[in-house]
Amino acid sequence: MTRAVQLLLLADTHVPARARDLPAQVWSAVDEADVVVHAGDWVETDLLDQLAARARELVGVHGNNDGPELRRRLPEVARVDLGGLRWGVVHETGGKAGREERARAAYPDLDVLVFGHSHIPWDTEHDGLRLLNPGSPTDRRRQPHCTYLTLSVVDGVLDDVRLHRLPPRTGAPARRDP
C-alpha cells in the first residue's frame, strides 16, 4: 500500500487585507501537510513566499483580488497528480447553480477540482469529479466560521476529508458585510 498524501486546502486568505496573518492552527496544518493547495486571493506576495518556504510542496493559483506580481508568479489554473488522482486548482467556477456540470465540462480530465472565491465551503461530486472549496481561514463573510480543509489521498482514494472551523478571532476588527 502506498503512503497517504496529507493535503491542506486553503483559499481566499486575503492577507493582509482581512487578517494580518494566517491563524496559528492553519500554520500548524501547513507543517503537517505533505502538500498545501491554495485556490487564490492571496492579495500580497508575502504570504506566497512564507507558504513556499514552509510547505513541503505548494500548489497555488491567482485569484481576482491578486495583483500583477501574483499573476506573474501563479497560473490561473494549476494541474497536478497527487496520490493517484488528477487535481486541478482554480479560483472561480461561477455561481453555484450548475457548478458541477460546468466544472465537469471545463475539466473533463480531472478527478478533483479545488476552487475558492465564494468563501463558502463546498464538497460535492458529479460524474466522477469531486469539487472542494475550503472556504476562507481569515474572512468568513456571511458564514458562521472561518474554515479550511484537510484530507488524505492514497491509491486514488480521498479519505478523511475534514472541514475545520476556526474560533472567532479576538481583538480583530469586525468586518461589516455589505
For cell 450548475, the residue is 98
Mean pLDDT of 89-100: 94
Q: Are 110 and 128 in contact (CB under 8 A)?
A: no
Query: Within its chain, how far is the Cα of 154 from the centroid?
Result: 19
Cell of 102: 460546468
Query: What is the pLDDT at residue 176?
Result: 40
| pLDDT tens-place string over residues 1-40 | 678 999 999 999 999 998 899 999 999 999 999 999 999 9
Task: Name the pTM for this structure.
Answer: 0.92
Residue 142 banded pLDDT, cuts 50, 70, 90: confident
Give pLDDT tens digits for 44-55.
Answer: 999 999 999 999
Instruction: Please tell me the predicted confidence (pLDDT) of residue 168.
Output: 80
Tell me what pLDDT residue 1 has: 62
SS (H, E, C) the chain: CCCCEEEEEECCCCECCCCCCCCHHHHHHHHHCCEEEECCCCECHHHHHHHHHHCCCEEECCCCCCCHHHHHHCCCEEEEEECCEEEEEECCCCCCCCHHHHHHHHCCCCCEEECCCCCCCEEEEECCEEEEECCCCCCCCCCCCEEEEEEEEECCEEEEEEEEEECCCCCCCCCCCC
Average confidence (pLDDT) over 104-111: 96
Q: 171 pLDDT exceeds 70? A: no
pLDDT of residue 3: 84
Selected residue with higher pLDDT from 141 and 147: 147
Give me the residue spans of the domains in the chain.
5-166
CATH of 5-166, one of 3.40.50.10490, 3.10.105.10, 3.20.20.70, 3.60.21.10: 3.60.21.10
